[in-house]
Amino acid sequence: MTLETTRRGLEDLLLSGDTKAVPIRLVSAKDDLALASLGEAEQGWVEAQGWTPKQGSVLTLPDGKGGVSGVLLGTGGKDWVTLAPLLTGVLPGALPQGDYRFASALPDPELAALGFLAGSYRFTRYKPEDQPKPKRLVLPEGANKDQVLALAEAVYFGRDLINTPANDLGPAELEAAARELANTFDGSIKVTEGSSLLSDNFPLIHAVGRASDRLPRLIDLTWGSERAPKVTIVGKGICFDTGGLDIKSGSGMALMKKDMGGAASALAFALLVMRAKLPVRLRMLIPAADNSIAGNAYRPGDVLPSRNGMSVEIGNTDAEGRLVLADAIALADEEAPDYLITIATLTGAARVALGPDLPPLYTDDEDFASDLLASGRTIGDPLWRMPFWAPYDKQLKSKIADVNHIAEGPFAGSVIAALFLKRFVKDTKRFAHLDIFGWVPREQPGRPQGGEPQGARALFQFFRQELGTL
């Protein structure tokens, strides 16, 4: 799916005003005023159906002529936005084909529209006939059409990339996605690939990716004025993670097409920044590789050089993400950016700590942390802070190299991985790291089961606020 077709598909779902559209009322409690404004027959219908305004429950009201006169959406209380920000995403799946509009006051019109569009998503690459009949929405008052479309486009773009299996999405296809962005928005792109990774001093990216016949590469996209604040995002682009010689179990490997979820989020973020023309100098770095098994694969116990000169002892070839990120971070740090953010499906431990919906956010900058958390909450892309706990850093000591790339013990896996990354940050002004899951295991409102580019909207919300274009 190209950006262009995604965009057009979304435009078709958003109407700019239609008085014949079916009204949707949000109902937070049984005695909600919305119910009172129903006619007698409609109230009787609600009663007969035994409908209650549970969060996410949808009821269509018959118009007596075989059609729908209205829709009720239960919110389960007044403060639903914090915990189910994309609640309106249940609507497309529950409604018959048609045109709809919100007839109730909305706490956040942009999110309400985004939820509806996010809930309309299906991954249909291999089953085009599965595309559901469109449910269209009148753009709610107070929402900006371009912004809503861009946010939804970024979500679709990221989901499509993650959902595409590894046989159709390798390092070359990630590169193609980045090139499409660069071409669309007039950015520059440079790709260092295969043995050039060695000659250009990206030894860790090369080591991780060299066992695959799909060449590893570092994708480097830049956009915007050199004089603007430098914002660099680094996304983990492991297209499939077998674990390498420390091979994963069958169940551990089952979902590992999503191990480029950080790259998908970085691409989605870049799309948002460029569409909105934010006044930043954007740089997006994606180390893209397969973590494969072959005779030339890197091994546990190997000691490898890294871009910034530190030698790294390999503890486990399944901790490949932090290695490819280390070289990309070192490169990013060389120009001392104002902001450097890494996004990666880095550890299973992050999911154990916070579950699939809530990515850990690491940063030592208190203001950056609280602003990012608030931005995530505002835009329905929540994050939760975890610490760069310095006392754990000594667990990365190696007897024979500058650093060991994993800790010996089983504790605090997500923190240790974050501390490893931090070792490669020297001159950057503000550094943050997101350890995302990149996947929705069980369907939720506005979040169909499958890939999810977590963190992209939270970061975009932060920068559009920070730079005063809101």
Binding of ligand BES at residue 452 (CB under 6 A)? no
Counted residue by residue, the chain has a size of 470
SS3 131: coil
Mask: binding to ligand BES, 330-349, rule CB under 6 A, as x and -? Answer: ---------------xxxxx
Q: Per 3-state DSSP, what percentage of the chain is helix, strand, and coil (rounded to 5)?
A: 40, 20, 40
CA distance 88 to 446: 7
Plot region of 54 (φ>0 → left; ψ -120 to 50 → alpha; else → beta): beta
81 or 406: CB nearest ligand BES: 406
Minimum CB separation from Zn ion for residue 461, in Å?
27
* Closest C-alpha among 338, 335, 385 to residue 364: 385
Q: From residue 255 to residue 294, what is the string marking binding to ligand BES with x (rule CB under 6 A)? A: ----x-----------------------------------
Among 175, 259, 290, 327, binds Zn ion (CB under 5 A): 259
Site map (CB under 5 A) of Mn ion, residues 237-256, x = contact: ----x---------------
**Residue 292's binding partner out of Mn ion, ligand BES, Zn ion, none, with CB under 5 to 8 Å set by partner kind:** none
Residue for token digits 């440079």? Answer: 190
Q: Which is nearer to ligand BES, 38 or 353 (CB)?
A: 353
The yes or no reply on residue 193 touching ligand BES (CB under 6 A) is no
From the number of C-beta atoms within 10 Å of its C-beta (0-12, 13-18, 19+), residue 44 rates as: exposed
Shortest distance in whole angstroms from residue 33 CB to ligand BES? 45
Q: Under 8 Å CB-to-CB from 336, ≥6 apart: which residues?
A: 230, 427, 428, 429
Is residue 319 within the footprint of ligand BES (CB under 6 A)?
yes
Task: Decide whether 199 or 316 has the Cβ nearer to ligand BES.
Answer: 316
Contact assessment for residue 92 and residue 116, using Cβ atoms and an 8 Å cutoff: yes
* CA gap 30, 137 in Å, rounded: 26
Strand 14-15 versus strand 135-138 pairing type: parallel
CB of 407 to Zn ion, least distance (A): 17
Q: Is 321 in the site for Zn ion (CB under 5 A)?
A: yes
Nearest distance, CB of residue 352 and Mn ion, angstroms: 15
Q: How far is the CB of 117 from ligand BES (least distance, A)?
A: 27
Amino acid identity of 168?
A: D
- What residue is closest to ligand BES based on CB? 348
Beta carbons of 93 and 135 less than 8 angstroms apart: no
Q: Which does 327 bind (CB under 5 to 8 A by kind): Mn ion, ligand BES, Zn ion, none?
A: none
- x/- map, 198-237, Mn ion, by CB under 5 A: ----------------------------------------
Amino acid at 199: S
Contact at 8 Å (CB) between 323 and 287?
no
Contact segment (CB under 6 A) with ligand BES among 41-49, 215-223, 311-319, 326-334 equals 311-319
Stretch of residues binding ligand BES (CB under 6 A), selected from 44-52, 123-131, 315-323, 422-430 = 315-323
122, 248, 377, 385: the active-site residue: 248
Give Cβ neighbours of residue 125 (< 8 Å, ≥ 6 apart): 1, 160, 163, 164, 168
Is 248 part of the annotated catalytic residue set? yes
Nearest distance from C-beta of residue 20 to ligand BES, angstroms: 46
Least separation, in Å, of the C-beta of 208 and Mn ion? Answer: 9
| Residue 187 vs 243, nearer CB to Zn ion | 243
The span from the CA of 401 to the CA of 148, in Å, is 50
Q: Give the CA-trace dihedral at 294, 296, 297, 300, to 10 degrees.
A: 120
Binding mask 387-426 for ligand BES (x = CB under 6 A): -------------------x------x-------------
CB atoms under 10 Å from CB of 214, counted, come to: 17
CA distance 326 to 323: 5
Question: Least distance (Å) from Mn ion to the CB of residue 131?
Answer: 34
Is residue 320 near ligand BES by the rule CB under 6 A? yes
Which listed residue (322, 423, 430, 457) is catalytic?
322
Closer residue to Zn ion (CB): 117 or 417:
417
The H helix count followed by the E strand count for the chain is 17, 20
What is the gyration radius of the CA atoms in the chain, in angstroms? 23
**Alpha carbon 406 to chain centroid, angstroms:** 26
Interface positions with Mn ion (CB under 5 A): 241, 318, 320
Q: Which residues are catalytic?
A: 248, 322
